[in-house]
Amino acid sequence: MPEKLMSIKEVAEYLKISEEEVKRLVDIGEIPAYKIGGSFLRFRKEQLDGIRTEIDEIEEATPQPGAGEGAHRAPQQPEAENDYTLVERIGDFFYFNDFYILSFAVIAVLMYLIFI
């Protein structure tokens, strides 16, 4: 079974940064990404673990305003596991199943040629 790659939205939540920041980090080469279908960025979780550790270390070292006054982050609501757009789902389908689709097409053409 192929591994599940993370979308930009999932990476932004995982790293606790904005989606625009994720795209910027990909553009400058700080985050490794894979293009699917030429336009969809996907990420491997194991490659992001080191980046998340660095971000957490930076946050711990940076004093936060109002930290002494008992300020805290509001808990984030978990989002649905498969919160993809239809276009992303179609792109992933063709990316992961291209061999089977091509095989089916070749078999169909051969069957057509045999039974003519």
pLDDT in tens, 26-48: 888 888 888 877 766 788 888 88
Per-residue pLDDT at 82 exceeds 60: no
Closest of 89, 100, 81 to residue 40, by C-alpha: 89
* CA–CA separation, 50 and 30 (whole Å): 11
Whether this model's pTM surpasses 0.75: no
* CA–CA separation, 102 and 25 (whole Å): 35
Q: How far is CA 14 from CA 10, 19, 61, 77, 96, in A?
A: 6, 11, 19, 12, 24
Contact 48, 6 (CB under 8 A): yes
More confident residue, 72 or 31: 31
